[in-house]
Amino acid sequence: MYTKRYIQQLNNSGQIFSRKIGQAILSLYFIVMAVVYPYYAPGGYLRIGEAKYIFFRNVTLVVMAVMLAVVLSTVIRQPGLFTEYYHKMSVTDWFAYGYFVAVMLSYLGSSYKEEAFWGAEGWYMGTVMQMILVLLYFFFSRYFVCRIGWLTVWISAAAGVFILGILNRYSIYPIVMEGQTPVFISTLGNINWFCGYWSVTAPIGITLYWCSEKRWQRAAAGLYSIVAVLAGVVQGSESAYLVFGVVFVALLLFSLHNIQRLYRWMELGMLFAAGCQLGRILRYLPGFNMNYGSDVNGGSPLVMERLTDSNVTLWLLGILLVAYAALRVWKKGLTDGGKRRLYVLTVISICCIILCGIIKVSGRLYEADGQIRWFRDDWGNGRGTAWNCSIEAYRGLDTVHKIVGVGPDCFAAYLYEVPPLAEQLVRKFGDERLTNAHNETLSILLNTGALGVLCYVGFVGSALVRYNKKAGRQPLFYVCAICLLAYTVHNMVSFQQVLNTPYFFMLLGMGEGLLRENGEMA
């Protein structure tokens, strides 16, 4: 007869073995997603979205099946683990679980079952995808061990994607892609898809530069940051400037009580200006011909042109250099009180510069009479129409569908069946079918209802709050928090897609895993 203690030891060793198997599987999956997936583009740009979706779906479903087998084998040996699992769920876990249930209820209540199951053609963000994303979060939070080495692998691969995008923007194509036009860059597709991927991956290296203590890490992250800045500036989608704004403001706020972090923040400002000036230099090199902008596409000069073809960022670089040197020198000879006053004065000055920049850029949104009309139909390349129609569509739903929505990724299926809204969309977008609101929250609201939005916002919001609390002890929480914040702000004018949302859920899982590693499960 086996003793009770011996059986317990066998169970524990089996649990440890299962955990190591799970870690190995997810580590391999992480490499595929970080290194292989961004470059996967068979057939060039023709149906690239569908090709990437099929690759992601097939690889991920295989991994999910193996991971579920690992989990089931562990639970069968130790049935008590299933109950223990629910007792150890964090508030973020419960919101994720709630979002999973909301998606299922939305599917069951949908009148567009086939579209709700797989998602709209070309986007595929339906029930299957949403379930996969939530499972990714749970598996990564329990089995993946987030370390700076993994992030280094990720940003190394991302840097190659960014460099390809930069070269493409200057009419250089190391990789010939079928269906090539200036709107498509790198191996990701059009500029909106490129910018979606960039919004999740660019802040990783930028934040690592700000929070890393080792010099080699800062040097590597600094080089990456210049590449990421230049890629974000020249790629063409102006939603990138929302990311720049939120990343720099958030890092400034995190720097308020640490002079060393403030130095790093100012250094990042100089790297931003240097990246823009590098873009200016490339404009004048033989064979480097900018193929996107007002001269090519018509209209008023883009922000990209103002940053890479003028002295604005050169002046910014000079001002930051002088301020940085002065702060370094003056700080040494000051008393503690003088240091605090100088520190506060520097932060206030920086905030004033940022405010002036915001006013200058947002001035482009004013009408001639000085009135701001954020929801004009032509605002944001038609986003005004999309947002207005989304709000009207939701208001027209019955009570049940206001709670559960019309079905995952059924935005277009529903809107184009409401004649007044369909007329507005056709009048604005013509034959192009609008499949989402170009605002993630509005899209989720219509697709999965108020229940889906509440769970999704709680999922992301609770994670950000918890990361912020623990960031002082573990700097990698800053990376997770800034990346999630950047994605969220970017998607205020963008959408879920297979090149950004899977990484978003993986990051949420990695952050949750770090919290559990640090004993935080509340």
Predicted TM-score (pTM) of this structure: 0.88
Task: Answer yes or no: are the C-beta atoms of 101 and 28 closer than 8 Å.
Answer: no
Q: Which long-range contacts (CB under 8 A, 24 or more apart) does 355-361 make?
A: 358/245, 361/241, 361/303
What's residue 258's pLDDT?
A: 82
Give the span between the Cα atoms of 507 and 92, in whole angstroms.
13
Structure letter (DSSP) for residue 33: I
Given the structure tokens 């809107």, which residue do they identify? 415
Residue 136: φ, ψ to 5°: -55, -45
Tally the residues of the chain. Answer: 522
Give the span between the Cα atoms of 13 and 19, in whole angstroms.
10
**DSSP string spanning 104-167?**
HHHHHT-S-HHHHHH-STTT--SHHHHHHHHHHHHHHHHH----HHHHHHHHHHHHHHHHHHHH
Give the span between the Cα atoms of 349 and 331, in whole angstroms.
16
- What does the block give as tokens for 336? 């503690």
- What does the block give as tokens for 13? 């060793």
Give the span between the Cα atoms of 343 and 439, in whole angstroms.
38
Other C-beta atoms closer than 10 Å to the C-beta of 322 total 10
Instruction: State whether residue 510 is helix, strand or coil.
Output: helix
Q: Max Cα separation, the chain? A: 89
**CA 44 to each of CA 177, 179, 187, 449: distance values in angstroms, whole numbers, following the listed order:** 4, 7, 8, 36
- What does the block give as tokens for 232? 């974000």
Cα end-to-end distance, the chain, whole Å:
41
Give the span between the Cα atoms of 6 and 2, in whole angstroms.
6
Strand partners, 190: 184
Give the span between the Cα atoms of 166 and 191, in whole angstroms.
12
Task: Answer yes or no: are the C-beta atoms of 112 and 41 closer than 8 Å.
Answer: no
What's residue 296's pLDDT?
A: 59
What's residue 84's pLDDT?
A: 59
Give the span between the Cα atoms of 65 and 77, in whole angstroms.
19
Give the span between the Cα atoms of 222 and 205, in whole angstroms.
8
Give the span between the Cα atoms of 38 and 33, in whole angstroms.
7
- What does the block give as tokens for 63? 């991994």
Residue 238: φ, ψ to 5°: -80, -5
| Ordered mean pLDDT values, 10 residues apiece, the chain (522 residues) | 46 66 93 96 88 94 92 72 67 95 95 91 91 95 90 95 95 88 90 94 96 90 95 90 92 85 92 93 89 63 79 86 81 54 56 51 39 50 82 91 94 91 85 87 94 95 91 89 94 91 96 85 59
> So where are the chain's domains?
4-367+433-517
Give the span between the Cα atoms of 146 and 478, in whole angstroms.
13
What's residue 345's pLDDT?
A: 56
Strand partners, 189: 185
What's residue 509's pLDDT?
A: 95
Given the structure tokens 């223990």, which residue do they identify? 84
Give the span between the Cα atoms of 9 and 78, in whole angstroms.
12
Structure letter (DSSP) for residue 373: -
Give the span between the Cα atoms of 190 and 235, in whole angstroms.
10
